[in-house]
Structure 1
Amino acid sequence: MTKNNLLADLKYKVFRSGNPVFFYIGINTIVFVAVALFGVTYFLAGNTNIRFLDYAREYFAFPAALPKIPIRFYTVLTYQFLHEDIFHILFNMLWLFWMGNIFIDFLKPRQFHFVYLSGGVMGALFFALAFNVFPPFIPSAYAATVIGSSASVMAIAVAVTTLLPDYSISLMFIGTVKLRYVVLVYLLIDLIGIGYSNPGGSFAHLGGAFMGFIYIKLLQNGKDWSGIFKKKSKLKVVRNDAPKGGSKNAASKVNQKEVDMILDKISKSGYDKLSKEEKETLFKASKS
């Protein structure tokens, strides 16, 4: 594959494929590379007393200090795309790739966008709340900031786990493990991490996890918050193709009932136990 073809393929996957997993991995990577390159230029220009990332963090990281939030209101989004170093972004993007692809197999792209972004927002709120409420963090609240997509990624992971708790994944050196146990371990690490070196990040992760859990629970009860991202059609098409003896709404309910039964089956016995027809039904439902 030539360099031009590779770039064209990457551009298509990130911006035109419609797959939100590739979109967010692409945006996070582009921002990271851009900040890193600016950092090199900043350093070579003689600014050796402060990193460019630390300079950028002042304007684009989410602050814990309440007086700063109205001025830096936009940081509730920008902080989600800044990362500390290569290992920070690498881990987050790998986790996003694994969990995101499972999410998109069962739910819609607009639902992914909502959970990802709202998970980041909730993570920021948890972070700010913790640093202004808990006594150990109050003295450092004015200077504290948070960056990274971890809260957004955790929202996706917990949303998937809440929807499919018995979904199994294969882990190197461990084997097949149910998704709920993997995510539970990460949540436990975040709880323990509150008392160590990165309490701000841990609180943000827990906020994202909370958002992912609440979203799926509401979705299972018929409330889809991602509807705010739904495009309203400018054309209204009326069709008279309702089945005999019933309405189109009745037909939709039958289809939804079938999907719910399939999801229940996954929760009890796993995705691998579905028949080919059930997998096809679930795939069509996720794209409708």
Structure 2
Amino acid sequence: MGNIVDDVKREFAKSENALVKIILINTAVFLVLLLSKIILTLSQSSGIYQLVINSVQLPAATSEFIYKPWTLITYFFTHDDIFHILFNMLFLYWFGKLVDEYLGAKRVIALYFLGGIAGGLTYMVLYNVLPYFQAHIEGSRMLGASAAAFSVAVGASTLLPNYTFNLIFLGPIRIKFIALFYIILSLAQTVGPNAGGNLAHLGGAFVGYMFIKLLQSGTDLGKPIYAVMAGWSRLFRKRPAMQVTYRERQVYRSTSVYSSSSSGTIEMPDQTEIDMILDKISKSGYESLTKEEKQKLFKASQQK
């Protein structure tokens, strides 16, 4: 048990593994809720568990939401079904790795949070506006990271539409078709038993698409998220004592893990570098590029 805790601490100490941190947080919340459910059920206090779940689920009714505004964030870190979290985290990992490789860790976080928030708002707005959903609004609540994962998946598919995944029984399939299949499936299920979740999927998918399109034109929707990340890092970062060496008259200080992203430190490549990267792609494919080369290629694509 001690080794597991140490491994988790080491992962959280790293600055460029945002995807792993998101998955670990979701998993930890799931395990805590699962353990609580077992203990409270055995002690015949299952009502307490339901109160806990209701406090983190996103309600459709605005009259309930105004008393629990934090649920717009907590709902996409909460799962109470093992297959639900398993699918969401696998989906998030597969597509999130691509975003991380090409755009850096902070863009994964931005897509996840913005997609989750947009999915939640889509769910609430449509349940309060459309007559079909208004009839089912009482007691309707939502949880799960599906909308946030859809945002990351569609973002990756918009960035690299022709990238292929090798699926069991199906072989290589371009990720744009995988994303399109799940969007159509969610659209078809907006009148089913999980209508709210599928409406949220569509909201997350839209944000994922717009995030990448705007980023390619030079507008980064994630700036507010990065500002919060930087503030959070400064708040909890330990400030070591200043070390001065009088011989060289230099002062050393630690810097924030969020002071710059991997993509932010990449300089604009010249045409020679771009030609070399493109030659490498033609010979060995996208997968052969290093993380720095992928980010240089994306930076060059933003130039008109």
Q: TM-score range by the shorter chain?
A: 0.7 to 0.9
Structure 2: distance between partners of 1:46 and 1:275 = 53
Query: Which residue number in structure 2 is paired with residue 100 of structure 1?
Result: 96
Distance change >3 Å, CA 172–CA 106, structure 1 → 2: same
- SS of 2:166's partner is strand
Cα deviation, 1:7-53, whole Å, max 9, x if unaligned, reads 322331245353111101100000000011111111122135x482x
- SS of 2:269's partner is helix
Decide which of 123, 140, 146 is 1:127's aligned counterpart.
123
Query: Which residue number in structure 1 is paired with residue 253 of structure 2?
Result: none
Distance change >3 Å, CA 56–CA 261, structure 1 → 2: farther
Query: Which residue number in structure 1 is paired with residue 30 of structure 2?
Result: 32
Distance change >3 Å, CA 81–CA 254, structure 1 → 2: closer
Q: Spell out the pairing of 1:75-154 with structure 2 (5 A cutoff).
A: 75-154=71-150
Query: Which residue number in structure 1 is paired with residue 45 of structure 2?
Result: 47
Distance change >3 Å, CA 145–CA 272, structure 1 → 2: farther
- SS of 2:62's partner is coil
Contact 2:34 2:80 in 1 (8 A): no
Contact 1:262 1:278 in 2 (8 A): no
- SS of 1:197's partner is coil
Contact 1:194 1:203 in 2 (8 A): yes
TM-score normalised by structure 1 residue count: 0.81
State which drifts further: 11-20 or 213-222: 11-20
Identity rate of aligned residues, in percent?
Answer: 31
Distance change >3 Å, CA 36–CA 275, structure 1 → 2: closer
Structure 2: distance between partners of 1:204 and 1:177 = 25
Cα deviation, 1:52-90, whole Å, max 9, x if unaligned, reads 2x3223211111111222211111001111113111111
Distance change >3 Å, CA 6–CA 33, structure 1 → 2: closer
Structure 1: distance between partners of 2:108 and 2:86 = 20
Decide which of 64, 70, 84 is 2:66's aligned counterpart.
70
- SS of 2:64's partner is coil
Displacement after TM superposition at 1:273 (Å): 2.5
Distance change >3 Å, CA 143–CA 8, structure 1 → 2: same
Displacement after TM superposition at 1:138 (Å): 0.3
Decide which of 206, 209, 212 is 2:205's aligned counterpart.
209
Distance change >3 Å, CA 18–CA 165, structure 1 → 2: same
Q: What letter is aligned with 1:222? A: G
Distance change >3 Å, CA 272–CA 207, structure 1 → 2: farther
Query: Which residue number in structure 2 is paired with residue 241 of structure 1?
Result: none
Structure 1: distance between partners of 2:137 and 2:282 = 45
Matched, 1:282 2:294: yes
In structure 2, the gaps of 5 or more residues are 235-265, 300-304
- SS of 1:132's partner is helix
- SS of 1:176's partner is strand
Cα deviation, 1:128-179, whole Å, max 9, x if unaligned, reads 1111122221022132111000111000000000111111111011100000
In structure 1, the gaps of 5 or more residues are 235-251
Displacement after TM superposition at 1:283 (Å): 4.8
Structure 2: distance between partners of 1:75 and 1:87 = 22
Structure 2: distance between partners of 1:255 and 1:171 = 35
Distance change >3 Å, CA 43–CA 71, structure 1 → 2: same
Contact 1:168 1:270 in 2 (8 A): no
Query: Which residue number in structure 2 is paired with residue 162 of structure 1?
Result: 158
Aligned length: 262
Contact 1:14 1:26 in 2 (8 A): no
Q: Spell out the pairing of 1:219-238 with structure 2 (5 A cutoff).
A: 219-228=215-224, 229=226, 231=230
TM-score normalised by structure 2 residue count: 0.77
Contact 2:269 2:296 in 1 (8 A): no
- SS of 1:225's partner is coil
